[in-house]
C-alpha cells in the first residue's frame, strides 16, 4: 500500500493510548481513503491471501459484521471463533491459544470481558492483536466515532465532546482519543459510576500535551454546555444486566433528551455506539432527530477497522 509513510505493520491495537496523534490521524486518513475507493468501485485489497481470527467471548452485531466484511473487502478472509468453537472455552490458556493461532492466521481480533485477556493475548501472539472490545476499552468504536466527527465538522482539534452516562469502556476510549486529538472532553456520570481513575489521569496528561482539557463532573448540564458533540451509551452494558433496575434509578437524570440538548451548540452532533434503548439513556426525539448521526458512525466501524487491519496486517 502507498497510503501512508508511517509504518504500523505488526503493531497491536489494544488502546488508543498506545498510538501517537500522528499515528491516529494516519489511521483516519487511510480509513477515509479506503472508504472513498470502496464506494467508487475501486477498492484497495492489501490483505489478499491473509486471514483474521476473530475471538468472540461477547456477542456483537456491528463488531462481527464490520470485521468480517472488512476483511473480505480488503481481499482476505475472517474466521469467527466463539468460546464454544475453540479450546479457550474448555480451559486452554490464553497464551497457548495465542501461540497456536499465530501459526495459522495473520491477525487476531478479540471481543472479551477482562482487559487483561487482551493484554495477555497480545503479549503471547506473534501476529497483530486488535481489541474489538474489553471491559476497559473500546478503541475501534472510538476511532470510528472520531472519523465520523471529522467528516461532519472538518476538524477535531478544539471541539468539545460531552459524554453523558456510565463511566465505562466507551467513556474511557472517547476520553483517551479526544485528548490525543486535542479535543475538550467532558464526562458526566452519576456518583459511584465514574470513569477509571488511572485512565482519567492518563487522558489528562494527553490533553495537556495537546492543548486540550478533561472535565469530570456529576452534572450533565455542565458537560453538555456548548458541546459540539453529545455522546451516550446504555446504562447497563453487557455483563451488568442484573444491575438494570439499580442503574435506572441512579441514571434517571442523565437521559440525553431535548431539554439537555438545549445546552449544547445548535449544530451539535448526537452519537451513540448502539444498541440503544430509546426512553432510557436517550429520548426518541434526540436519537431519531436531525442532529443524530448514529448510523454514519455505525457505518464507519467498517472503514476505521479496515484501516487498522490494512496498516497492521499488511506485509
Burial 196-212 (b: 16+ CB within 10 A, else e): beebbebbbebbeeeeb
Put the strands of the sheet holding 229-232 in their side by side order. Answer: 214-217, 184-188, 160-164, 229-232, 269-272
* Dist CA 144 CA 296 (whole Å): 9
Cell output for 148: 465520523
Binding residues for carbamoyl phosphate: 60-63, 87, 111, 138-141, 273-274, 301
DSSP classification of residue 195: P
Known active-site residue 138 = yes
- Under 8 Å between Cβ of 133 and 141: yes
Burial 44-61 (b: 16+ CB within 10 A, else e): bebbeebbbbbbbbbeee
* Dist CA 236 CA 256 (whole Å): 15
In a domain, 4, yes or no: no
Please pick, among 111, 115, 172, 247, the residue that the annotation labels catalytic. Answer: 111
In a domain, 3, yes or no: no
268 in the same domain as 151 = yes
* Dist CA 260 CA 243 (whole Å): 25
Binding residues for L-ornithine: 169, 233, 237-238
In a domain, 10, yes or no: no
In a domain, 229, yes or no: yes
Percent of the chain with pLDDT over 70: 98
Please pick, among 272, 301, 303, 305, the residue that the annotation labels catalytic. Answer: 301
92 in the same domain as 171 = no
Please pick, among 73, 141, 202, 305, the residue that the annotation labels catalytic. Answer: 141
Known active-site residue 85 = no
Known active-site residue 228 = no
Backbone angles phi, psi at 256, to 5 degrees: -85, 110
Helix H or strand E encompassing 270: strand 269-272
Query: pLDDT per residue over 197-253, tens digit each?
Result: 999 999 999 999 999 999 999 999 999 999 999 999 999 876 777 888 999 999 999
The 3-class SS string of 69-100 reads HHHHHCCCEEEEEECCCCHHHHCCCHHHHHHH
292 upstream amide cis, omega within 30 of 0: no
DSSP classification of residue 194: P
Q: For residue 114, how many other CB atoms are within 10 A of its CB?
A: 13
81 in the same domain as 184 = no
Known active-site residue 90 = no
- Which parts of the chain sit beneath pLDDT 50? 1-3
- Under 8 Å between Cβ of 80 and 68: yes
Please pick, among 12, 255, 273, 305, the residue that the annotation labels catalytic. Answer: 273
Known active-site residue 296 = no
306 in the same domain as 282 = no
Known active-site residue 301 = yes
Q: What is the pTM assigned to this prediction? A: 0.96
Domains: count for the chain: 2
150 in the same domain as 86 = no
In a domain, 181, yes or no: yes
Q: State the Cα angle at 144 between 184 and 234, rounded to 5°.
A: 75
* Dist CA 12 CA 25 (whole Å): 17
* Dist CA 132 CA 53 (whole Å): 12
102 in the same domain as 227 = no
Q: Output the pLDDT for position 57.
A: 93
Task: State whether residue 64 is helix, strand or coil.
Answer: helix
In a domain, 5, yes or no: no
- Under 8 Å between Cβ of 171 and 189: yes
Please pick, among 11, 138, 272, 303, the residue that the annotation labels catalytic. Answer: 138
293 in the same domain as 200 = yes
Binding residues: 60-63, 87, 111, 138-141, 169, 233, 237-238, 273-274, 301
* Dist CA 94 CA 102 (whole Å): 12
Domain range spanning residue 237? 140-297
Question: Residue 102: which CATH number?
Answer: 3.40.50.1370
Please pick, among 106, 135, 145, 233, the residue that the annotation labels catalytic. Answer: 233
Amino acid at each position: 500500500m502507498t497510503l501512508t509513510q508511517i509504518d504500523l505493520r505488526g503493531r497491536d491495537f489494544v488502546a488508543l493510548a498506545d498510538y501517537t496523534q500522528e499515528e491516529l490521524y494516519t489511521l483516519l486518513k487511510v480509513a477515509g481513503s479506503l472508504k472513498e475507493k470502496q464506494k467508487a468501485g475501486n477498492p484497495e485489497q492489501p490483505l489478499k491471501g491473509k486471514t483474521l481470527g476473530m475471538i468472540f467471548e461477547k456477542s456483537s452485531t456491528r463488531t462481527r459484521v464490520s470485521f468480517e466484511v472488512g476483511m473480505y473487502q480488503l481481499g482476505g478472509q475472517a474466521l469467527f471463533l466463539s468460546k464454544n468453537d475453540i479450546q479457550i472455552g474448555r480451559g486452554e490458556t490464553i497464551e497457548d491459544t495465542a501461540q497456536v493461532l499465530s501459526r495459522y492466521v495473520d491477525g487476531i481480533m478479540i471481543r472479551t470481558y477482562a482487559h487483561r485477556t487482551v493484554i495477555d493475548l497480545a503479549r503471547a501472539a506473534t501476529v497483530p492483536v486488535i481489541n474489538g472490545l474489553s471491559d476497559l476499552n473500546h478503541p475501534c468504536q472510538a476511532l470510528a466515532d472520531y472519523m465520523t466527527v471529522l467528516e461532519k465538522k472538518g476538524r477535531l482539534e478544539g471541539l468539545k465532546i460531552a459524554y453523558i452516562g456510565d463511566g465505562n469502556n466507551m467513556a474511557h476510549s472517547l476520553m483517551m482519543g479526544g485528548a490525543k486529538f486535542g479535543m475538550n472532553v467532558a464526562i458526566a456520570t452519576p456518583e459511584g459510576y465514574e470513569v477509571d481513575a488511572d485512565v482519567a489521569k492518563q487522558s489528562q496528561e494527553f490533553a495537556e500535551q495537546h492543548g486540550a482539557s478533561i472535565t469530570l463532573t456529576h452534572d450533565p448540564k455542565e458537560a453538555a454546555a456548548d458541546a459540539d458533540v453529545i455522546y451516550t451509551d446504555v446504562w447497563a452494558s453487557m455483563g451488568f444486566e442484573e444491575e438494570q433496575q439499580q442503574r435506572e434509578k441512579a441514571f434517571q437524570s442523565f437521559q440525553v433528551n431535548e431539554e439537555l440538548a438545549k445546552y449544547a451548540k445548535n449544530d451539535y452532533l448526537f452519537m451513540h455506539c448502539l444498541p440503544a434503548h430509546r426512553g432510557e439513556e436517550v429520548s426518541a426525539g434526540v436519537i431519531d432527530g436531525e442532529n443524530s448521526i448514529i448510523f454514519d458512525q455505525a457505518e464507519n466501524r467498517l472503514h476505521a477497522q479496515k484501516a487498522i487491519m490494512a496498516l497492521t496486517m499488511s506485509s
